[in-house]
Amino acid sequence: MTLPIASAGASAYADAAKMLSNGASAPGAAVKGSGGGFGDMLKQAIDGAIDTEKQGETMSLKAVTGKADINAVVSAVTNAEMTLQTVVAVRDKIVSAYQQIMQMQV
Max distance between CA atoms of the chain, in angstroms, equals: 61
Rounded Cα gap, residues 59 and 64, in angstroms? 9
pLDDT at 55: 93
Residue 77: the pLDDT is 92
Distance CA 75, CA 37 (A): 31
Each residue's pLDDT tens digit in the chain (106 positions)? Answer: 444 544 555 566 556 656 556 655 444 444 444 567 888 888 898 999 999 999 999 999 999 998 888 999 999 999 999 999 999 999 999 999 999 999 998 8
Q: How far apart are CA 42 and CA 27, in angstroms?
A: 10
Q: What is residue 92's predicted lDDT score, i.e. its pLDDT? A: 95
Confidence (pLDDT) at 39: 85
Regarding pTM above 0.75, the answer is no
